[in-house]
Structure 1
Amino acid sequence: MEKKIEPVDVHNDELMVSLGIRVPLYSIDYSVFEKTDKEKEQLRTERAKHKEDMRTGTKPIPYIPIQAKLVVYLKKNNKFPNSTYSSICMQHEIFNKLGFFAEITKSGNIRNLVSKYSYNGKMYKSGEYPFWHY
């Protein structure tokens, strides 16, 4: 004996939900997404706090793979006992190495003690850098 299946009206949502063919429509409670005045004020405060700090990264330090001898000649000072210092360094490290030779004056200013320096056999003034400056 064959079972006879009655046809279902697919346009009748209540019938289809009651038969379990379709899940019921869910209503969304939009009041959950609404903010109170206090929450809105807190949100504005937090956005304003970090307005200046929205950077994604820092500038990469340039890398120059040239290694040579750095000879630094200093002005007369009381901080360093010798007037000449030498070391072997990479070209991108020159700026940091020269920055080491500085002193703070009594008035609080920073005074550069480098009079000149030699890198890879070429002389430079204290403010010059070989081929680049960052």
Structure 2
Amino acid sequence: MQMDTFGYLRQARRPGTYLALGIAMVAVYLSFTLTLNALVPVLAVLYLALVLARLIRNPGRGFRLGPNRIDWFTRKGRQSASLDDLIGVAIGNGTTGQTVCVLRLADGRTVPLSGVEKFDQGALMREFGRRGIRIMA
């Protein structure tokens, strides 16, 4: 039986961020060529620096649950594990009432998944259950 991927991934490198980069570059160019007030180029360069920093760091959040592996984002970047390496998954409510999902891996690590806050707990349980992963609610 073929299973589709399930999850939510969001990275900084997407069309809207590249559009912001283009606008920032045009703003810097125009602020220098039109010899505007000295504050305008400073603000344009600051905006360009913020957009570039976001693109370089490329923060991401979320996870992707495939037929035989799971990928997730951490502060250090993207990580992954085979579904055979998962001992189980704990799904429940956090202190703010949002959904929380924590993976237990065979090497002893516990990994909280980001991007599950708005997911329905039942949908998460079904998707992990379809892949034969033990669920602790």
TM-score (normalizing by structure 2): 0.24
Q: Which of 1 and 2 has greater Rg?
A: 1
The answer to which structure has the higher strand fraction is 2
